[in-house]
Structure formats: structure tokens, C-alpha cells
């Protein structure tokens, strides 16, 4: 690792340390609690799987910013010429952000912009960015104050649900019509045969069961089958196995008469359950197994004490029907010159 020359800004000495994917992985495993890794999609394990799976023309551009040997934050960027982007892409990363403590964010972003300008970077293209992210709420105001030209536009919507303490309380949050429909659909499912709702989360089982999940994913819609090409298939498998090793992956299945007919791929991180993707056997569409696989994952999240259920990116109608509230996602451009 290379240490950049110490400098001062606002009379506060700081050091910029060049990082690699391996070094930030070691940092997270060793003392990652010293700064908050709030964004799931910039965890070191995610960055590494994404970088290994999607070779881009951008080069990794990672560094940490320290003050008196205390890490203020980590910068997970990729660079091409005079342009930088956050590592990841909107196709498989539902939101992105910098890794920085809230109370240090303003100084961190001042230092970041100063360093980028000195290193010849002229623009930052950042997406997808949540409206409540550090990037949107802290970086953009700092950049504007310094004199950078900023612009942003809403690029998509995400939906999340604040979970109550019980399943009954959740049902009573919904409209009377939706509550009735969920109960009716669940009753029809359980009348169709022997139903088992099961969790797969250990690495050994995940390696086997991801094949089933991916088959269900490809089978229920032509656009999903097209999306899940060989490269994406490999990414999903590696991601699942890597996150299972970190005890983050939760793979749920609905079995009917011992046959998997629907599945959800979820991530359990910091009191939030993230619904990343799902698939189902279209031959059982009449039993509403697609939406019920999500409903049952919400029930499981409540019973396991989660505070939030994040439906993630996309404006599908079911997310609102099941209680999701909108969170805007942005594409942000910062011109540094």
C-alpha cells in the first residue's frame, strides 16, 4: 500500500492511503465497525465479486482517508481517464455510496474533492444514489459550496417497508382488500398439497440450491431468461456463495409436495432484509406463488426481528400493495473543474 504525502485542510492533518480490494476486505474483517458500512452494495465482499465478474474498462481507484491514524472513510471508486464512478453498476447494484462516518462526512468530502482535483479527475458520475445516502445528503452540498458544478436527476425508485412487531400488525397495516387477498392466496396454496417454507443459508447447501433458484428465475419470464446470461449466472452463484460465507444470504423456498416452486434471494444485513430477486415455476402461477414467496419472506423477517424490509429498486405495483414506501434513486454528476 502506498501512502500519499500528508497534507492539511481546515488546519487538520490527514493522510490518504491507497487501497486494494484485498486490503479493504482485511480492514472490514479486522475493524470495520470503526466506520459504518451502511450500504450493502459496497461491502468488500460485494465489490470483489462484482469486480471479478464484470471486467470493465475502468480501473479500480480505491483509497482511505485518515486523520491522526483514525479512518474517516473509504473511497470505492473506479477510474477511466479523468472520470470516476463508484464501483458497481445499476444492473446488479441497487444503490451505491461512500463509506464514511456521518459526523466526519463534510471534512471527508472536502478532502476527497481536493484530492481528486489534484490527481487530474474532472468529473464524478455517481449512480444509483438513494436520496438519504451520504453521497446525496453530504457530498453534493460540499461540492456545491466549493464551487463544483453539480446536477442530478431521478433515475429510478426503490421501496422499503418499516416492519411492525408482529405478523398480525403487518396485515392490519394493509388495506382491507389486500389483507383479504393475502389470506385467501395463502389458504389456496396450503390447500393445494403439502407446503414447506424453508431457508437455505449455509455455504454447502447454497452451492447446490442456487442452481434451483436460477432455474426458477429463468423459467418464469422471457426477459429474466435473457437477463440471466452465462456471465450473470456466474455472478449470481459467486455472489450467493460469498454472502453465505458472511452469513448475509438468505435463500427461501416454497416447496409443494417436496417440489420447489418458488424462491426469493434475500440479504440479511444490519436489521434489514433485502429482497434482491425471485423466481417461480410458471406452471404454478394460478397459486400466486410469485407474490406469496415475497409475502412469506416478509413474515419471516418480522418473526426474526428485522426492522426494515427493503424491496430494492423497481416500481412494480406489488411493492406498494405490500406496504412499501418510495425512496428516490438519483444519477448525480459532479464537475470538479
Provide the strand spans (E) within 201-316.
Answer: 249-256, 259-269, 272-280, 308-313
d(CA 138, CA 131): 11
CB atoms near residue 257 (< 10 Å): 10
Nine-digit cell string for 142: 460540499
Instruction: Characterize 15-27 residue by residue with b for buried, 16 or more Cβ atoms within 10 angstroms of its Cβ, and e for exposed.
Output: bbbebebebbbeb
CB atoms near residue 124 (< 10 Å): 23
Hey, what CATH topology would domain 164-306 get?
Aminopeptidase (3.40.630)
Q: What is the pLDDT of residues 216-255, one digit of tens each?
A: 999 988 999 899 999 999 999 999 999 999 999 999 999 9
**In the chain, what percentage of residues exceed pLDDT 70?**
96
Nine-digit cell string for 307: 426492522
Q: Does domain 7-155+329-335 have CATH number 3.40.630.30?
A: yes
pLDDT of residue 29: 80
Alpha helix stretches (DSSP H) within 69-221: 105-118, 134, 140-146, 167-173, 176-191, 203-219
Asked whether the beta carbons of 92 and 128 are under 8 A apart, the reply is: no
Asked whether the beta carbons of 220 and 279 are under 8 A apart, the reply is: yes
Evaluate if residue 2 carries a pLDDT over 60: no
pTM: 0.94
> Where are the domains positioned within the chain?
7-155+329-335, 164-306
d(CA 277, CA 263): 9
Q: What is the pLDDT of residues 43-81, one digit of tens each?
A: 999 999 999 999 777 889 999 999 887 889 999 999 999
Helices (H) and strands (E) in the chain, counts: 12, 14
**SS3 state of residue 118:** helix
Asked whether the beta carbons of 21 and 51 are under 8 A apart, the reply is: yes
d(CA 25, CA 43): 8
Evaluate if residue 267 carries a pLDDT over 70: yes
Q: What is the mean pLDDT of the chain?
A: 93
Amino acid at each position: 500500500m502506498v501512502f500519499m504525502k500528508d497534507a492539511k485542510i481546515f488546519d487538520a492533518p490527514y493522510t490518504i492511503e491507497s487501497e486494494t480490494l484485498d486490503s479493504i476486505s482485511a480492514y472490514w474483517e479486522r475493524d470495520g465497525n470503526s466506520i459504518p458500512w451502511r450500504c450493502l452494495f459496497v461491502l468488500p465482499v460485494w465489490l470483489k465479486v462484482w469486480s471479478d465478474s464484470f471486467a470493465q474498462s475502468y480501473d479500480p481507484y480505491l483509497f482511505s482517508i485518515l486523520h491522526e491514524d483514525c479512518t474517516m472513510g473509504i473511497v470505492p471508486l473506479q477510474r477511466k481517464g479523468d472520470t470516476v464512478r463508484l464501483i458497481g453498476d445499476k444492473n446488479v447494484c441497487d444503490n451505491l455510496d461512500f463509506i464514511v462516518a456521518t459526523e466526519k462526512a463534510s471534512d471527508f468530502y472536502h478532502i476527497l474533492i481536493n484530492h481528486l482535483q489534484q490527481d487530474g479527475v474532472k468529473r464524478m458520475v455517481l449512480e444509483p444514489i438513494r436520496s438519504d445516502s451520504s453521497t446525496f445528503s453530504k457530498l453534493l452540498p460540499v461540492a456545491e459550496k466549493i464551487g463544483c458544478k453539480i446536477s442530478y436527476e431521478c433515475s429510478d425508485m426503490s421501496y422499503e417497508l418499516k416492519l411492525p412487531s408482529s405478523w398480525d400488525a403487518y396485515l392490519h397495516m394493509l388495506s382491507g382488500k389486500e389483507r383479504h387477498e393475502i389470506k385467501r392466496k395463502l389458504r389456496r396454496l396450503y390447500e393445494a398439497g403439502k407446503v414447506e417454507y424453508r431457508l437455505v443459508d449455509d455455504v454447502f447447501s447454497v452451492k447446490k440450491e442456487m442452481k434451483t433458484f436460477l432455474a426458477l428465475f429463468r423459467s418464469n419470464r422471457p426477459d429474466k431468461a435473457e437477463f440471466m446470461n452465462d456471465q450473470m449466472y456466474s455472478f449470481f452463484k459467486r455472489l450467493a456463495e460469498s454472502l453465505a460465507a458472511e452469513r448475509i444470504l438468505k435463500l427461501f423456498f416454497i416447496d409443494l409436495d417436496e417440489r420447489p416452486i418458488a424462491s426469493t434471494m434475500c440479504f440479511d444485513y444490519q436489521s434489514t432484509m433485502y429482497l434482491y430477486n425471485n423466481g417461480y415455476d410458471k406452471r404454478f402461477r394460478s397459486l400466486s406463488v410469485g407474490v406469496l414467496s415475497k409475502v412469506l419472506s416478509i413474515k419471516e423477517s418480522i418473526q426474526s426481528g428485522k426492522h426494515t424490509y427493503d424491496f430494492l429498486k423497481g416500481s412494480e405495483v406489488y411493492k406498494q400493495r405490500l406496504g412499501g414506501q418510495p425512496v428516490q434513486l438519483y444519477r448525480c454528476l459532479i464537475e470538479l473543474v
